[in-house]
A and B are shown apart, each in its own frame.
Chain A
Amino acid sequence: MGLFGLHYKLERKTMSLAIGIIIAASIGGLIEIVPLFTIHQTVEDAPDMRVYTPLEIAGRNIYIREGCYACHSQMIRTLRDEVERYGPYSLAVESKYDHPMLWGSKRTGPDIARLGGKYSDEWHVKHLINPRDVVPESVMPPYAYLTRAKARIDDLGLHLTALRKVGVPYTDEMIANASNDAYGQTSPDTPFAEGVTKRYGEATNVRAFDGQPGEPTEMDALVAYLQILGKLTDAAHKAKTAAAGE
């Protein structure tokens, strides 16, 4: 009968044509996507990988809200110039807890997968208020209003709960203390600060990111997030040393 004969029959039957379309279109996705969930090597093991703190989640949500991903990628490719410009290439495990991932598709600005710790908090705050104050030729929009807006932290427990439902290992304790931990992370001299390092590790940044301790602003949250980029695990740096030692 051949392809044309088969098609000649299909185009006379509405339901058969619809089913034919669904089958033909489903194969590619099934073969390419399903194994990514089942093949273990797809995502490396990184025992030191930590989850985002509630404040960093709030900052990440501001990053998403403002559409920063439209101009900044968070995915360093396995190319020499990228590794020399931005640092070790990105591993799959580094975005394991990223719901959704923010790999990006365009670099109107530079990649920021390893931005954490590269600049001071003061630099970030100045840069976000008016990028051209620190980089005169920058084309990034100003985000001065972030310093004026209080971050919404009262509902962060709900955010962590939702993230746990999609697979991020937040504990009951983390969820119960989410709002306090967000406050504590920007208030180092208060009793709330201790809980943050207890739950998220000694290396967690606890400080007034925008220079003003107390009630976190949206600027605090965003800078806290930017300062953790590339710092959730050492896996990428270890892979580099291991490769060099071979």
Chain B
Amino acid sequence: MIAQLTKSERQLALIILLVLTICGLAMAIAGRQDPLGVHGAIVMLAGIAGIFGVIYVYYEPEPDEARLALYYDDPTKLAIILAMIWAVIGMFIGDWVAWQLVFPNLTFDAGWSSFGRIRPAHTSAVIFGFGGNGLIGTSLYVLQRTSRARLPDQISPWFVLLGYNLFCLLAATGYLMGVTQSKEYAEPEWYADLLLEIVWVVYFVIYMRTLARRKEPHIYVANWYYMAFILVVAILHTVNNLAMPVSFGHAKSYSAFSGVQDAMTQWWYGHNAVAFFLTSGFLGMMYYYLPVRAGRPIYSYRMSIISFWGITFMYMWVGSHHLHYTALPQWVQTLGMTFSLMLLIPSWGSAGNALLTLNGAWYKVRDDATLRFMMVAAVFYGLTTFEGSFMAIRSVNSLSHYTDWTVGHVHAGALGWVAMITFGSIYASVPWLWKRERMYSPALVEWHFWLAVAGLFTYVFAMWNSGIIQGLMWRTYNSSGTLSYSFIETVIAMKPYYVARAVGGFFFFAGAVIGLYNIVMTIRTAGQPADERAADRPVAQPAGVPALQPGE
């Protein structure tokens, strides 16, 4: 992968890695009495490892010009492998925390393994590790195909992918050491946030530069969504993470906001991380892979437009539905609820558009587990957005909030929608990327599909039951007008559902392990003849125009 870089790119890589190493060293020295020091050492080691990697191939011959006539897919390949590795890690931790609620001593009397520390490790590993790598990998793939142009250079995608994974690593290891801002889904501390900020700007620049050289007059719908994902996540990340570090030698920082303003900012971020990370980005994925795999055009261009602008505009209003009946002023709660209900229209627009695209290809859904992953994703996207709008109604929320119903809802979206569309897209991409006829074992794809579906249903039904039962128990009064149940009685009532949830989670995890194995075996089997993929390349440069130069 490094040998693909040109001489000047190798030099630039060395400079970036040297800067990274120096930053790591500075963090390690300034933070020697603090967890920051450990993170400094990790950053420094990452930098040094990179430097050795580049030096190792530095004097190898430069890649030939023929590469410019092809798409640049190496970063996508690594992103997909990393996504699957993070999926296995994240789902393993997820199932472990689930069992901790059944057997609370599964912490083994250590600090790093307690529920409160590994729960964010689970959420970040699956959302940012699995989801984020899936998004970066597929977006670079889709961007090039729909623009019919190669990425503008070969170093910026590596910067984005590896920088992003360093962020994920700092996040996950930080939680185990107790480094957290406590803001849900924005837990990493200030220095990791700064790293992500830089990575994200470069990511956006790649997008703009590639689109600028596209050979298609129109920007394809998948790219609208990927762009909204990149841009809005940048806004959300920047505002919600404004904080004052204790010093340059401390990992700890204090949020710029407090109390009610902080709560609103956090849930404006939190719900729109759902909207623009876990929805917009994955809709981008769906709008490319589902029609391509089904061999059908998108059902309705106009529905795509309505859905896109509806989601982009309305989602940003709904965060306050996380704060019904709290100290947040009621007018904000009401706005959040109202927009949550209206949001159902663009959400179902997208889900319907996807399912109607499958008309004429349903026999493929029956036979092809990869396409079936995408179909289930679209169905669960529709179900989850309906459930979300429903739960945002103030009176429903009074029951559901603080209970497992919310956890079930999140997992209906995360397992049913996000993971399913990602697995489908990955199973479609892997044979294309590695020039294979098909996956190593279609039977194992079927196994993965059915394990995932079984795990999903077990999980979601368990959480619906536990959430609604606990919510009702909390508000049950006896005939003398006092509360019927103590809190601990409602905890005891949860036990069977916690067992069921952990079992369902295990099914889903097992499916991901099978998926990783199948992908590795596909990569290790022999490729198909090159000419079968002859059409998969950017539009050739007209004669007289100099070939693209990296760094151009």
Give me the interface of A with B, judged by CB distance under 8 Å: 3-4, 7, 11-12, 14-15, 17-18, 21-22, 24-29, 31-33, 36-37, 39, 41-43, 61, 64-71, 73, 75, 77-79, 81-82, 84-85, 89-111, 131-132, 135, 137-145, 155, 158-159, 162-163, 165-168
Contacts and interface: CB of A to CB of B under 8 A. Distances in A.
Given A25-B232, A25-B313, A32-B336, A77 B326 contact: yes
Contact of A42 (B105, B235, B260): B260
A25 B252 contact: no
A22 B231 contact: yes
Contact of B258 (A26, A68, A96): A96
B390 interface: no
8 pairs of A and B residues whose beta carbons are closest in the complex? A67-B116, A28-B316, A65-B178, A77-B325, A28-B317, A95-B259, A100-B255, A92-B327
Interface centre among A67, A99, A142, A159 (most CB of B within 10 A): A67
A3 B332 contact: no
A108 B101 contact: yes
Interface in B125-170: none
B114 A141 contact: yes
Contacts of B109: 142, 144-145
Nearest to B242: A166
Contacts of B100: 139, 141
Interface stretch (B78-86, B179-187, B371-379): B179-187
Given A32-B332, A36-B264, A68-B116, 17 more contacts: A4-B302, A18-B231, A21-B232, A25-B228, A36-B332, A41-B329, A42-B329, A67-B116, A67-B117, A67-B120, A79-B398, A84-B482, A96-B258, A98-B262, A100-B258, A141-B104, A155-B247
A67 B111 CA distance: 11
Give the size range of B's interface with the partner.
35 or more
20 contacts: A17-B224, A22-B232, A28-B318, A28-B339, A32-B319, A36-B264, A61-B252, A66-B117, A67-B116, A70-B115, A73-B402, A100-B182, A100-B255, A105-B401, A105-B406, A108-B101, A139-B101, A139-B104, A155-B250, A162-B245
A49 to B, nearest CB: 11
B219 interface: yes
B244 interface: yes
Interface of B: 100-102, 104-105, 107, 109-111, 114-117, 119-120, 175, 178-184, 208, 211-212, 217-219, 224, 227-228, 231-232, 235, 239, 243-247, 250, 252-266, 268, 276, 302, 305-306, 309, 312-320, 322-329, 332, 335-336, 339, 398, 401-403, 406-407, 474-475, 477, 482-483, 487-488, 491-492
